[in-house]
Chain A
Amino acid sequence: MAEGVTMKDGADADEGTGMDVRDAAAIMQQARARAEHELRISQSVLLASYGLVYLIGYGAVWLSVRGQRPYHGPGTAALVVLTLLVAAALAVTVVVAGRALSGVGGWSVRQRRICLLSFAAGLAGVYLLEAALFHAGASWSVIGVYGATAPMLVSGMAFAFSAALWPSWTVFGLGIWLIVVAATSAFAGPVGVWAVGGLAAGLALLLVAAVRPGLRR
Chain B
Amino acid sequence: MSQDELDPVIHVPARLRIMVTLATLPEGDDLSFTRLQDMIGLTPGNLITHLRKLEDAGYVRTEKSGRGVTARTAVSLTYDGRAALDRYTTALRQLLDTVEPVPPRPAGG
Number of residues in A with C-beta < 8 Å to the partner? 35
Q: Which residue of B lies closest to A5 (CB)?
A: B13
Contact size range, B: 35 or more
| Pair A104/B35 contact, Cβ less than 8 Å | yes
Q: Mark B28-49, 1 if CB is under 8 A from A, else 0.
A: 1111101110110111011001
Q: Which residue of A lies closest to B93 (CB)?
A: A25
| Pair A11/B29 contact, Cβ less than 8 Å | no
| Pair A106/B30 contact, Cβ less than 8 Å | yes
- Max chain B Cβ within 10 angstroms of own Cβ: one of A22, A104, A105, A106: A105
Main secondary structure of the interface of A (DSSP, over half): helix
Q: Which residue of B lies closest to A109 (CB)?
A: B29
State in angstroms the CA–CA spacing of A36 and B95 once bound together: 25
A-B contact count (CB 8 A): 119
Q: Which of B12, B21, B32 contacts A19 (CB 8 A)?
A: B12
State in angstroms the CA–CA spacing of A105 and B35 once bound together: 11
| Pair A11/B13 contact, Cβ less than 8 Å | no
A199 CB to closest chain B CB (Å) equals 37
Q: Which of A17, A22, A28 contacts B99 (CB 8 A)?
A: A22
CB within 8 Å for A11 and B49 given contacts A21-B96, A27-B13, A103-B34: yes
| Pair A104/B28 contact, Cβ less than 8 Å | no
A32 CB–B CB distance under 8 Å: yes
Cβ < 8 Å to B, chain A residues 14-37 = 14-17, 19, 21-25, 27-28, 31-32, 34-36
A204 CB to closest chain B CB (Å) equals 28
B90 CB–A CB distance under 8 Å: no
CB within 8 Å for A16 and B11 given contacts A21-B95, A21-B96, A106-B29: yes
State in angstroms the CA–CA spacing of A36 and B21 once bound together: 8
Known: A25-B96, A34-B39. 15 other contacts (CB 8 A): A7-B13, A7-B14, A10-B14, A14-B12, A15-B12, A16-B15, A17-B8, A19-B11, A21-B99, A28-B89, A104-B31, A105-B29, A105-B30, A106-B25, A108-B25
- 3 interchain residue pairs of minimum CB distance: A103-B35, A16-B12, A106-B29
9 examples of A-B residue contacts, CB within 8 angstroms:
A10-B13, A11-B46, A16-B12, A16-B14, A17-B11, A24-B92, A104-B30, A107-B29, A108-B29
